[in-house]
Structure 1
Amino acid sequence: MTIVKIENVRVLDPIQKTDSVRTVYLENGKLAAETAHASEVIDGQGKWLMPTMVDLCARLREPGQQQHGTLKSEGKAARENGILHVFTPPDSQPIVQDNGALIHGLVEKAMLDGGIYLQVIGAQTQGLLGKQPANMAGLKKGGCTAVSNANEPFMDDDVVLRTLEYAAGLDMTVVFYAEEPQIAKDGCVHEGFVASRQGLPMIPALAETIAIAKYLLMVEVSGVRAHFGLLSCGASVELIKAAKAKGLPVTADVAMHQLHLTDQLIDGFNSLAHVRPPLRSAADRDLLRQGVKDGIIDAISTHHEPLSSSAKMAPFAETQPGFTAFDTYVPFGIQLINEGLFEPLQWVEKVTAAPARVANMYERWVEEAGWALVDPALEWAVSKDSIVSNGKNTPLINQTVKGKVLKTFAA
């Protein structure tokens, strides 16, 4: 039995809503009573201790895309960066997330191989083809609490409405990554000056906001609990705000990189800045930040999408979208604090308790969560060697950042 003593550490505890410097004892990742028999003593001066994080959207690439990452490699990356609970969308290749029995196997493998609690979002339609509702009752038996069609289109809006009514009857959440395909078409970047100058096909903000507005009307009719993931536009915040004001059962999250990076990064056809939804304008970024601060956007996710180096080597529009994000999640969070958007405990809430509540697993998270020791002042270079994930695909490559998880304590 391992007991660790951490002296004079700043404990940021969103469960007790406390922020205090003290000496703590951890036994198998849990706070324990004071004892004289600690097997390890750590000087916590200047360090933070926070609960392990909950990530509402990460692709771990297994099954089917192991050239980019595996449950072992990405589970390790998540855990070492203080993330113990990970939700993954249902668009693996091949798609197994419309089969409750196969999902149970994935969850077990994620814990055995990567040491993380994986939560699989089930498929909303069979094979994500957008034609027929998936067997949601079977998915629920397999452990799914939510369904989504990921980034795949629906055949028509009647299919959407039927799946929402089905999910509502099972008390399951529907997760939307809202994008209207007829408007987005073959676009790959934000509709703006940089894209126009480079002649890249564009995805206007309207593609997101029209889809959100339409789905909100269906949510109101069906009564289903809905979560809008990976918001990228300032106008989307206003739609979610209005829905919440009406009392609709709606929540939202934003990817951490959308609170920092803008479409300026695509200049020079920088394929490392290719992500979907795309990086938007500075005005959008600022409105998203305000939306998180005001609580309209409930939580911050990583939107981790590891990719092999070859996936970013084609001409920009033909490269695969995605950022590796586990390793830069805490530095980006520390930056939000240093720029005055949050107090430390407020940021911790947005990446721990808040996403746990969104996922209706707060009590489970409290029971299973460990603790992460963070050095908020540690400067380190983002490089292929320092990134734990198999994916090295980040626009932050070769930059120096501040803040790092030193150690994760968990059972």
Structure 2
Amino acid sequence: MALKGTVHYEQRGEIALLTVDNPPVNPLSSGVRQGLFDGFTRALAETSVRAIVLTGAGRAFIAGADISEFGAAGNQGPGLHEVLTMMEESSKPIVAAINGTAFGGGLEVALCCDYRVAAPSAPVGLPEVKLGLLPGAGGTQRLPRLIGAEQALQFILTGDPIPAPRALQLGIVDAVATGPVVEDAIAFARRVLADGGKVRKIRHERDRVAADRANPEIFANARKDAARRMRGRFAPEMIIQCVEAAVNLDDFEAGMEVERACFGRCLAHPQRAALIHLFFSEREVAKIPDVPKDTPQKKIASAGVVGCGTMGGGITMSFANVGIPVKVLEMDAKALERGLGVIRRNYDIQVQRGRMTAEQVDQRMALISGTTEFADLGQADVVIEAVYENLGVKVDVFRKLEAVCKPGAIIASNTSG
């Protein structure tokens, strides 16, 4: 079976530039791992090369593992740990030029570099928890050493990406590029060389984890938060145990053993299979086979919903959740007040569970308004009726909407009939 992906090699003076090329998002497929191994081997052997810059082609740096290679296909080519060991043993400084998405194993590769320069728009994250997994290439051991256990736990347990400027504030990256990121990274590497060519391996950093050793409440609080936000989930506890090992064992390799063991337990757990199935299913249902990719998209800047019961309230929240102003109609003021109250309570429950902040609730509620007049829906780009299952009522609603909606508006039905 042919290896997937490649890594281009070029030399710019005393700098070797390695570019991961595995479109569309440069996952760590077999060919990428082989290309990284070969590229670093060549750069380390070439006496005229004094530093190495690693970047990605297109819109991603490295967007993580290739999920399609989980299992037998993942045994092709060198293992990722083999590549990371070579990087950590390098006597030549390695600078990551994070040009775009650096998720999961991609960020873990960057953490094995001595320095990191990111494009302003580049997001970084460790989303493995959302797949029932944990960062299995040293992320649970390196990140606490870099930014401290509390920040690392929050970052890994949410799985949410952060933009480059926030990553700079946390200390995950060393600089945010002001020009083309590869050029800035090469300039950064040359400054490092001018200052003596010092390498900086996160595995040897101890100050942050030594300070955290005196604060066991970090882990107690993480467990409480995980139990509230991700009740019944297996991976969060495994992540906490790994970060505990990073803090308490004071031995990088011992911590890596804990990470490998916990990763194996996650990999064998049925939640992992279910969440990965969900991952692919969500992307599959977004594809509509008979709609060409070049079909023009209609911009939706405002929405209307008819009915503020269970379904109508949920549809209203869905619009607000993605930042679209929405006006919801009910037949009288009392029903409208009741429906909006239910929406507010549903959001408040999310705050209580730690899934949203009160500020986010206020922002979303500000996008929702109510009315009892069909005419107030006239300028919406899309209107969805969500009244009870009575065909006569639905026909009447559509007749009224056709009379008031602007030309080109989408009128849709939420119905099981």
With the length of structure 1 as denominator, give the TM-score of the two structures: 0.24
Q: Answer 1 or 2: higher relative contact order, Cα 8 Å, separation at least 6.
A: 1
Question: Whose radius of gyration is greater, 1 or 2?
Answer: 2
Larger strand proportion, structure 1 or 2? 1
